[in-house]
Structure 1
């Protein structure tokens, strides 16, 4: 795989359009069988409607892309089969929570999720709830995912004005640094207390990253590429 490319932008122009993904149609039977097998291993998987993108473009300080609706089963099969169709991209937002002492806060995904054991910033595949008119509200998506996963409301942090878009193959992670006024251990304790009150929390653990020595192989390359430029 080619080395990640990082583009810093100040504007996202993410249009939602009606478009049928040929991959999802042509391999429907295989996709359904794959999802059924995945659910036998992880019964809590849900085949909801999500948004993928195509025709991504960086233009100066802007990132533009067209998003389309598809079922989660198609996204999962496409990912698990090594992204065989390169017309689509998985373009999602992430909130890089940074504490007052410089520590970044990452979560480890629970065993019942599609990304069990992976460690990254709060994030989630955009879905239909993130559409505002004909646009994808990625900032709103990130805020919602952070509150769902960690319990932290928007009032707990301040967003920087830019996004770092990390491109790795068919994945585009749009990462925004969110500054908190509390130290890392305090934030971790707050999140762990919130997780303890949830019946089925998405996260199984909370990790603090203070330098390159805290990076590990359970972190996707788009996460480590972003963090490497911070230290």
Structure 2
């Protein structure tokens, strides 16, 4: 897909885990291992943990249905860096579209030790096996709130989670953005988060950027799906 990411709103995302293996990762293991060796040579802080990759994604009325398969981070990054070569498989991840009481959005600047250094987007990340419930459902809202806490220090009781999801499809990426509000002005919320980051030995975020108008996010460091979300959000506010 080229051009602007496609945005749509769904009432719910129903996600389940299919136990592996992932055939692409099995077939490409030698290439994955070689690619991973290069990645960790450049950035030894990377860790080859387990993540979930979406093997199937379909819209059904006002909901999105996703099937995930576990894989290692090395396979996930190789697949990403090769441009998502298997069309039916994608990175389907949740993000906290964090908005302050004065209307400003709070975006994180990824730290230099991460796999996305310098990128600027909402707190969140690819789901992990820890997000799988005992009945096999993948708790994507739980994933978003966990990632929000890990990256910003904000606890679930400190924020308001609005209903529904905004889905942005951009090539091999499917961003699931949840409207999350904090009852603080943007500058105060940023100060609260920066206090948390300053106390962390190795925070995932290098900083917090406040966006008060869509043109402030029109830069290469901000992914297209975030820019599309912000344009829509500010346009809806104006209407």
TM-score category, normalised to shorter length: over 0.9
TM, length-normalised to structure 1: 0.98
Which residue pairs with 1:181 in the alignment? 183
Whether the 8 Å CA contact 2:83–2:172 is kept in 1: the answer is no
Which residue pairs with 1:123 in the alignment? 124
1:127: Cα distance to partner?
A: 0.5
In structure 2, the residue corresponding to 1:229 is in which secondary structure?
helix
CA RMSD of aligned residues (A): 0.9
1:58: Cα distance to partner?
A: 1.0
Q: Is 2:226 the counterpart of 1:228?
A: no
TM, length-normalised to structure 2: 0.94
The 5 A counterparts of 1:74-113 are 74-113=75-114
Q: What is the rounded CA distance, in whole Å, between the counterparts of 2:132 and 2:212 in structure 1?
A: 35
Q: What is the rounded CA distance, in whole Å, between the counterparts of 1:105 and 1:89 in structure 2?
A: 26
Which residue pairs with 2:168 in the alignment? 166
Which residue pairs with 1:38 in the alignment? 39
In structure 2, the residue corresponding to 1:107 is in which secondary structure?
strand
1:2: Cα distance to partner?
A: 4.0
Whether the 8 Å CA contact 1:2–1:169 is kept in 2: the answer is no
Q: What is the rounded CA distance, in whole Å, between the counterparts of 1:2 and 1:20 in structure 2?
A: 33
Which residue pairs with 2:147 in the alignment? 145
Q: What is the rounded CA distance, in whole Å, between the counterparts of 1:50 and 1:213 in structure 2?
A: 33
Q: Is 2:78 the counterpart of 1:71?
A: no
Q: Which runs of 5+ in 2 are unaligned?
A: 235-239
Which residue pairs with 2:203 in the alignment? 201
Q: What is the rounded CA distance, in whole Å, between the counterparts of 2:22 and 2:137 in structure 1?
A: 19
Q: What is the rounded CA distance, in whole Å, between the counterparts of 1:44 and 1:124 in structure 2?
A: 17
Whether the 8 Å CA contact 1:92–1:124 is kept in 2: the answer is yes
Which residue pairs with 1:28 in the alignment? 29
1:87: Cα distance to partner?
A: 2.1
Whether the 8 Å CA contact 1:97–1:104 is kept in 2: the answer is yes
Which residue pairs with 2:237 in the alignment? none
1:114: Cα distance to partner?
A: 0.2
Q: What is the rounded CA distance, in whole Å, between the counterparts of 2:172 and 2:149 in structure 1?
A: 27
